[in-house]
Structure 1
Amino acid sequence: MATPFLVSAFGFFILNFSPEKHVFAQPNENWDDSPNWNLAVEKIKELENLVKIQDERISVLEKRPTMSELRSNVELQETIQRQNDRIVKLETRISELEVMVTDQKAEAIHIEPSEEVPDFGLNIITPKRNFIRKERLLLQPTTVPVESVAFFAYFSTHNDASSRHQILAFDKVITNIGNAYHPHSGSFLASRSGVYVFIWTIRLDGNNYHTTELLHDNNVINSIYLNPNNAIGGTATGTAVVHVNQGEDVLIRTGNLSNGRIVSDTDGRSSFAGWLLM
């Protein structure tokens, strides 16, 4: 890669040291001591160093993983997860088949007809019966080892949410199995794909009114509306059952009709909860 730069440098040297501008060196003149010659040599060395640096940068860039390689790694991880789920299901099925095979292995205990016991001088007659005893293996209920995901959080104090499409970050976390709920942002980020149940409750009083929405991957799934209208305060609760893929988020935000504060205290909490159903 340095060759084009050396050729350019040599051309530069020829153009700048033409007969029109400079006097030819005498045969006995020492070129090593010529300022122009030394300057040209220095320029060539600088160009060589520049080419070397560029070659090193290009080499580093070529070693970086491409987007296709990164996508391949993600697809490989997803394939491994699916295979692990299938292995768990197969192990459960094998356990069920083992129980069925054990049930079918019945041992028949056959007691022989009457035998005489001469030692006591008595004839002890044993009834002629055939006893069949069936063995059944008693097992504890089989539990499929799955990664549990569940959370519950609420507002630790009243929340001013007068603006439209404001994300409600329920800051007081009571349960967070799997660490999928993030109280600072108010979003639930699915750590695994599956069907989830989500429930949220909003408490209002006075002339405050709100529409709140449950968003899944930036799509509105369900919404609720409450307006006490300066009468008795109350609560509204929304529920949604959603299939969420790994890495997708679920959150609660205000809707188009929003005014005033959302109430949350010991008399009634505004909260958000969810868990993995299957």
Structure 2
Amino acid sequence: MLGIAVFWATVALCSASLNVENELHEIRRVLFHQEKEIQDLKTENQVLRNNLAKLKTEIEKLKADDEDVSELGENITVSENEEIQIRNSSFNLKTLIRNADAVAKSEMENIRMSRLAQEPAAFYAYMSNNEPNPSLHHAIIFDVVKTNVGGGYNEFSGVFTAPSSGIFVFTWTIYTGSHGLTKFHIFVNHDVFDATFGETNGNSDDYDSDSGSMVVSLNAHDHVYMRSAMACSTNIISSSDHARTTFAGWKIMTL
């Protein structure tokens, strides 16, 4: 029986290692595509800047033309029809200036949004040690951070904060110790978005691996984190010698 338990423990550890490698491979692939999108956005950003510079030049020219028309009205005597034409011309120039200002503001907003779109976000972290029998509502903190592009994950609180709005993917793997139960909720702000459950009550030499993933639409500064949903009757297992309990996430689309 001991040999069989060792065999299945070895299989579980190999599977866990493969899961971690697959997660890292997926993160690298997403980051590669995000880098290409960032380069494209930089090019679009430069085009927007050039357009904004042209609009500013046109605005200055329109303002100068408006001043010339005003001076003309003060220094010459004109007929009633000519005066009406000059007033209409002045009104049209002011309308054009207002429209150009509105377009310039829109271009500046586009530049701001394109900068936000260039902000990638990806993290991968794991627990450095076992967590003995987490109590109810206990925060699960993955304190060893291997990847934190965008700086959204906090290894002291275990909370990921979205740096910008977008669609995000999150994935996790939790190893449950022998002879007990564990249950955890994954929160988006104050709402439970997903859950995971581990059960090893039937065998004192049994261990459990529970993995999950979710796709979430987040606004900037939204929080994603994990905490226990019950008083757990066994440990969370996480060590370099056996298996690591992990948490990862990355942005796949900007909204």
Normalised TM-score (structure 2):
0.52
User: What CA deviation, in whole Å up to 9, does each residue of 1:225-261 have, x standing for no partner?
Assistant: 0112224212101211111111111001111252221
Greater gyration radius? 1
Find the partner of 2:128 among 156, 177, 200. 156
1:14-29 equivalences under 5 Å are: none
2:177 match: 205
Contact 1:167–1:186, Cα closer than 8 Å, also in 2: yes
User: Which of 265, 269, 274 is the equivalent residue of 2:244?
Assistant: 269
Counterpart for residue 240 of structure 1: 214
Any idea what the Cα deviations from partners look like across 1:52-111, whole Å, max 9, x if unmatched? xxxxxxxxxxxxxxxxxxxxxxxxxxxxxxx689736999xxxxxxxxxxxxxxxxxxxx
Question: Judging changes above 3 Å, is the alpha-carbon distance between structure 1 residues 264 and 85 closer, same or farther for their aligned structure 2 residues?
Answer: farther
Aligned to 2:195: 223
Q: Is the 8 A contact 1:88 1:145 kept in 2?
A: no
Give the structure 1 partner of residue 38 of structure 2.
none
- Structure 2 unaligned runs (5+)? 1-105
Task: Kindly report the root-mean-square deviation, in angstroms, between the aligned alpha carbons of the 2 structures.
Answer: 2.5
Q: 1:171: how far off?
A: 0.4
Q: Which residues of 2 match residues 10-49 of structure 1 at below 5 A?
A: none
When residues 187 and 231 of structure 1 are mapped into structure 2, their CA distance, relative to the original with a 3 A threshold, is same
Change (3 A) 1:145 1:215: closer
The unaligned stretches of length 5 or more in structure 1 are 1-82, 92-143
Q: Which amino acid aligns with 2:244?
A: R
Q: How does 1:88-107 map to 2 (within 5 A)?
A: none
Is the alpha carbon distance of 1:89 and 1:249 closer, same or farther for their aligned partners in structure 2, counting shifts above 3 Å?
Answer: closer
Kept in 1: contact 2:179–2:206 (CA 8 A)? no
Residue of 137, 160, 164 corresponding to 1:188: 160
Q: 1:87 to 1:257 in 2, by over 3 A?
A: same
Q: Which structure features the higher share of helix residues?
A: 2
Runs of 4+ in 1 over 3 A off after TM superposition: 83-91
**Identity of counterpart residues, as a percentage?**
29
Higher RCO (C-alpha 8 Å, min separation 6): 2
CA distance in 1 between partners of 2:149 and 2:124 (Å) = 9
Q: Tell me what 2:67 maps to.
A: none
Q: Please point out which of 204, 208, 214 is paired with 2:186.
A: 214
State the secondary structure of the residue aligned to 1:222: strand
Task: State the number of aligned residues.
Answer: 144
How many Å separate the matches in 2 of 1:173 and 1:206?
27
Give TM-score scaled by structure 1 length: 0.48
